[in-house]
Amino acid sequence: MVAAEKLSRTEAHVRDLATDWPVALYETLKSSGVGHMSYVPDAGHATLIKLFGGDPDVVANMLTTEEEGVAIAAGAWLGGKRSVLLMQSSGVGNCINMLSLPVQARFPLLMLVTMRGEWAEFNPWQVPMGQATQASLEAIGITVLRAETGADLVETVEQAATMAYEADQQVAVLIGQRLLGKKKW
Amino acid sequence: MDRRAAVQTLLDARDGALVVTGLGSPSYDVHAAGDRHDNYYLWGAMGGAALVGLGLAQAQPDKRVMVITGDGEQLMAFGALATISVARPNNLDIIVLDNQHYGETGMQTSHTGRGIALDKVAAATGFSDTAELRTQEEVDALAERLRQPAEGPRLFVLKIKAENLPRSLPPRDAAYVKNRFRAHLDLVTC
């Protein structure tokens, strides 16, 4: 809490975390030593994907399906790199068996999951997996944290990075759909 | 082709390469050739071997990474060939031990026994070097070929006899295998 207040106070004049949280997340992950990332695109992750993709110090992998990123992150850690995995909640269902790798081997894992199917959702097909996301992750042994505001998200990711990379934990941070806003068509 | 002899040949010529194995018989084959700290054996996470290899290759660009897996394991990661090709590491070699069967589960036929050629799939996605090998002599030549610098990821299919050999079991403690692997690279362990 103290860190978040400090962060929002010092950055208030340059940045509104309600809208500029993706840039703050990028800076937080960079200062946590993240030099490797994988993603399946999501509108909510668009800015972060762009920032990482344009960073010559970060290896960025485009995936065909989300579970690939779980295995890639394990390999990156074996070789000494900190990796972050970005996906939408629908992709969590694809990951379940592959998550046995970081859970069993205690590989650090930091997943940032943008939520669908829970707030102003127009597509009913997003609802079942959205409803099952947290329960599925917890069932396979992942620690799940949630954030509903930009300031809370940045603080949550900062401490989740410590839990993952310093304490060999497997952590998913769910980014509430309310924060992401209504999808525009 | 005898799978153990083929794997032994490739590992005798590994020359510092880091090795990741797919679950089941490929893990036993690599272990039978000699347990080492720079081997990472998978006992599960089917479809993950080549991708663990990709992450490792990206984190260790100055070392060669060799993934040794089976046809069933690689078939489960068909899309991974696209991901690896786009990532284009020039230090990642995938060896598919292809007996055209699921040996661990009762020798049911796999897709490679019904016409799917993983080397051709890898070539189509843009791997820089691919081939299907059918004899030990070809594997001897491959060991030399792997020493040459690569322009991108390479994938080789070794057509091996469908047989269940005596198991040579690597440690099942995945955290232990991870930590000794990282220690081999002088990385801290938790």
Of B49, B56, B175, the CB nearest to A79: B56
In angstroms, the CA A78 to CA A137 distance is 23
HEC states along B43-98? CCCCCCHHHHHHHHHHHCCCCCEEEEEEHHHHHCCHHHHHHHHHHCCCCEEEEEEE
Asked if B117 contacts B106 with a C-beta cutoff of 8 angstroms, the reply is no
CB contact under 8 A, B52 and A74: yes
- Containing structural domain, residue B100: 3-184
- 3-state DSSP of A90-143: HHHHHHCHHHHHHHHHCCCEEEEEECCCCCCCCCHHHHHHHHHHHHHHHHHCCE
B55 and A81 within 8 Å at the Cβ level: the answer is: yes
User: What percentage of chain A has pLDDT greater than the value 70?
Assistant: 90
CA-closest candidate to residue B56, choices A77, A83, A37: A77
pLDDT (tens digit per residue) in B29-53: 999 999 999 999 999 999 999 999 9
- The number of domains in chain B is 1
Q: What is the pTM of this model?
A: 0.95
What pLDDT score was predicted for residue B7?
Answer: 98
Whichever domain contains B177, its CATH number is 3.40.50.970
Any domain includes B26: yes
Gap between the Cα atoms of A60 and A40, Å rounded? 11
To the nearest whole percent, how much of chain B has pLDDT over 70? 100
B60, closest residue in chain A (CA to CA): A79
- Structural domain contains residue B143: yes
B190 belongs to a structural domain: no
Interface membership of A64 toward B (CB under 8 Å):
yes
- Closest partner CB to B48 (pick from A63, A71, A167): A71
**What one-character-per-residue DSSP string does B4-22 give?**
HHHHHHHHHT-TT-EEEE-
Q: Does some domain include residue B189? A: no
- Give domain status of residue B27, yes or no: yes
Q: What is the pLDDT of residues A83-110, one digit of tens each?
A: 999 999 999 999 999 999 999 999 999 9
Q: Does domain A19-143+159-180 have CATH number 3.40.47.10?
A: no
Q: Choose, out of A34, A62, A68, A84, the residue to mutate when testing the contact with B (most B CBs < 10 Å).
A: A68
Q: How far apart are CA A145 and CA A151, in angstroms?
A: 14
- With CA atoms as reference, the chain B residue closest to A62 would be B83
pLDDT (tens digit, 9 = 90+) per residue, B114-165?
Answer: 999 999 999 999 999 999 999 999 999 999 999 999 999 999 999 999 999 9
Share of chain A above pLDDT 90, in %: 86
ipTM: 0.97
Beta strands in B115-153 (DSSP E): 129-133
The CA R_g of chain A, rounded to the nearest whole Å, is: 15
